[in-house]
Structure 1
């Protein structure tokens, strides 16, 4: 659990991420959180791999300032422009071209086995199931909503190619995203312990959820 309200600690298996909100250039809480995590690790006979540890700074100000690097046990943590978090490539601009390029490349490689299996006489329904298992993208609810038009077209071209190979009707990427997004939102709404549960609030009439307004797509 994070010590400061401006920080969040995300843990998954042996992967730990510290997310800090820095306001008015005051990094004290964020740096204390990282230091406390390193101390906790030592106290519990665990050591952080500084070589694999990365720091990414998201800063949209016109006048960006230099950020002093984080130190763990005297070693400098590398600052990067992007990193792979639980299979998703995140950049400090919150753009998703790198992620979509990776997905497209992996999907195109998976098209070859589909072609081979079709030549061996496998039917459309089985090919469709194989497509769903190997090509349909994971974590699409995280990144697809903010993809550029060109990235979406590249993804959809893969779907059209797979549809031609399998001979079966395949869902468009947009439809796949919408279905999974709605399913994810429903789980969050019904789970009061979910960190994003508080983001969903009903309007006074109780029939629709409030839509948060923002000045930019981010």
Structure 2
């Protein structure tokens, strides 16, 4: 996500405003309209808000950004309901197309470890991409939909495969364990402050700052503590 602040700046570069009483303040991935209202005169402030809303409506279809000859495609992972349904739909479609390739390879006589390697590198990599972020937050219906893809792949390979939940749990615990051993990680200090002085467990996720309670950390900490107690 290194490009995110850069792309946000490009996409919003054509809307700027600054006066003695109101201005648009831009952050790395967000914007705020700040206004000084005197004697209940908020006309400029409200006018700036309306102009920003009008600008946003006219820029709903953003032109592609091209970097070194390659277009940067915009992908919506979260919809306007703040759930992962759109992300699941995109993963499902990608998984379906790659599952077709898996079936074709089997029809050509490929089997065993070679077919499993193809599944891991081409099919599973698409289905489980970013699972640490969304694995604990998707709905039961979305999880079942992805598990259906995995069952189909299991039938093609002739071996049992882990579900989305199983893979998500394993990867979240591994991610958190790796983070705890990497002092240069941006979240290292935040997480190590939760370390218990009496055991290897971490304190309850509610001790996290508000900004981290919507990340993968709460679920990862619960799973990490569960694995420590087993």
**TM-score normalised by the shorter chain: which range applies?**
0.5 to 0.7
* Distance apart, 1:68 and its partner CA: 5.3
Given the superposition, is the C-alpha separation of residues 114 and 140 from structure 1 closer, same or farther in structure 2, using an over 3 Å criterion?
Answer: same
Quick one: which of 153, 164, 176 aligns to 1:173? Answer: 164
Aligned-pair Cα RMSD in Å: 3.9
Q: In structure 1, what is the Cα distance between the partners aligned to 2:101 and 2:78?
A: 29
The 5 A counterparts of 1:59-78 are 76-77=55-56, 78=59
Quick one: which of 198, 205, 218 aligns to 1:212? Answer: 205
Normalising by structure 2, we get a TM-score of: 0.59
* Distance apart, 1:76 and its partner CA: 3.5
| Structure with the largest fraction of strand | 1
Q: Tell me if the contact between 1:89 and 1:98 (Cα under 8 Å) persists in the aligned partners.
A: yes
* Distance apart, 1:111 and its partner CA: 1.2
Quick one: which of 116, 119, 127 aligns to 2:115? Answer: 127
Alignment size in residue pairs: 166
Matched residue, 1:114: 102
Quick one: which of 181, 186, 191 aligns to 1:190? Answer: 181
Q: In structure 2, what is the Cα distance between the partners aligned to 1:199 and 1:108?
A: 39
* Distance apart, 1:172 and its partner CA: 1.7
Given the superposition, is the C-alpha separation of residues 189 and 110 from structure 1 closer, same or farther in structure 2, using an over 3 Å criterion?
Answer: same
Q: In structure 2, what is the Cα distance between the partners aligned to 1:110 and 1:69?
A: 45
Quick one: which of 116, 135, 144 aligns to 1:144? Answer: 135
Question: Larger Rg: 1 or 2?
Answer: 2
Given the superposition, is the C-alpha separation of residues 122 and 150 from structure 1 closer, same or farther in structure 2, using an over 3 Å criterion?
Answer: same
| Structure with the largest fraction of helix | 2
1:135-185 residue CA offsets vs partner (Å, 9 max, x unmatched): 212111011110100000000000000010111232221111111111211
Q: In structure 2, what is the Cα distance between the partners aligned to 1:124 and 1:144?
A: 29
Quick one: which of 26, 30, 44 aligns to 1:33? Answer: 26
